[in-house]
Amino acid sequence: MTYKLSQITKELNLDFNGNDIEIDGIHTLKEATSSQLSFFTDAKYASELPQTKAAAVFIDEEHADLLPDTTIALITDEAYLKLAYASKFFAHKIESKGGHPAMGEGCDIDKRVRFGKNVTLGDNVTLLAGCYVGDNVTIASNTLLHPNVTLYHGTQIGQNCIIHSGTVIGCDGYGFAHTKLGEHVKIYQNGNVLVEDDVEIGANCAIDRAVFGTTTIRKGTKLDNLIQIAHNCDVGEHTLCAAQVGLAGSTTLGRNVVMGGQSATAGHLEVGAFATIAGKGGVTKSLEGGKTYAGFPAIEIKLWRKMQAALMRLVKNR
C-alpha cells in the first residue's frame, strides 16, 4: 500500500517542498529507501543524515541542511510524534476473515487451528489445537506448534522448530511517542519476526515484532519458558536463555550467548559471542564476548565475587 507524500503531510499538518512522491513505508536513516520516510530525533545519528536514501525525513530545522538534495525535509520539532502518527498509514489491516493455507505433504493440522490469509506450510508441519496462524505467515517443514501458540501476521518460522504452548510470536512491540501534554501515541509496529531453523521456544514466551525491519531469532537457539524478546532484537545462533530472561528493544546477542534465569538487558546494546550472563544479571551496557558476567550492573564475575566477599567482610566486621 502506498500513499502520496501530500496525503501523509496533510494528515500531520506539515508542509514540504519537492515532488509529491509515492511512499510505501518507514525505516531508519540507514535502511530507508527512496520510497520510504525516516526520522531524526537524536544528535548522535547526525552523521547518518548526509548518507540517507530516504524520500523524506521528519527533522528539526537545525539539522535539515545535513540531508542530501534527494531527500525532502519535513520540518517539525516533534519528529518522533510525527513518526508515530505516520506509522498508522502502513499498519496491517486486522480482520477476522481467514483462508486455507498452502500445505506441503504430510501435515497434521488439528481442526481447531485457525488460519489467516496467504499462509504457507512446508512438509510435515504439525499444528495442535487452539493455534492461530495469521496472515502471510510461513512455517517451514518439520516444525511443531503445541496447543494455543499464536503467530501474528508476517511471522516466518524455519524448519525443525518446536514452539510450546501459550507462546505468542509477532505481537506488537512496546512503542509509544509522547505529546507535550504527556499523552501516549501508539507507534504501529510494521515489521515482523523471523525464527530461523532448529529453534526451540518454551511455553508462554513473547517475541515482539519489529517497529520496522525484523526481530530475529537465529538458528539453533533454545529459549526456556516465560521469556520476553522485545522489538528489533537480534538473538545470535545457538544462544541459550533460561526462564524469565528479558531483552529490551534492539538488543543484539552474538552467537552462543548464555543468559541465566531472570537475567536481562537494557536496550540498544550488544553482548558479544560466547558471553555468559549469570542468573539475575542486569546488562546495562555492551559487553565483550567470551567472558562471564554477574550482578547489576553486570561486571566480570571474578570482580563481582570479590565485591561480594569484601561486602560480607565489611558487614561482619561492624
Q: Supply the residues annotated as catalytic.
A: 231
Count of alpha carbons within 13 angstroms of residue 21, beta-carbon side: 18
Cα–Cα distance measured from residue 139 to residue 278, given in angstroms and rounded to the nearest whole number: 33
Alpha helices in the chain (DSSP H): 5-12, 79-87, 301-316
Specify the amino acid at residue 49.
Answer: L
Residue 100, classified by CB atoms within 10 Å of its CB into exposed (0-12), middle (13-18) or buried (19+), is exposed
Cα–Cα distance measured from residue 275 to residue 261, given in angstroms and rounded to the nearest whole number: 15
Closest CA to 98 of 151, 156, 140: 151
Give, in order, the Cα–Cα distances in Å from 300 to each of 11, 151, 268, 282, 291.
51, 38, 20, 12, 7
β-pair type (3-4, 22-23): antiparallel
Specify the amino acid at residue 93.
Answer: K
Contact between 106 and 123 under an 8 Å Cβ cutoff? The reply is: yes
Contact between 290 and 275 under an 8 Å Cβ cutoff? The reply is: yes
Cα–Cα distance measured from residue 305 to residue 272, given in angstroms and rounded to the nearest whole number: 22
Q: Which three cell numbers stand for residue 70?
A: 534527494
Listed in sequence order, the residues at least 6 apart from 35 whose beta carbon sits closer than 8 Å to its beta carbon are 2, 21, 22, 23, 24, 25, 55
Cα–Cα distance measured from residue 253 to residue 233, given in angstroms and rounded to the nearest whole number: 8
Contact between 73 and 93 under an 8 Å Cβ cutoff? The reply is: no
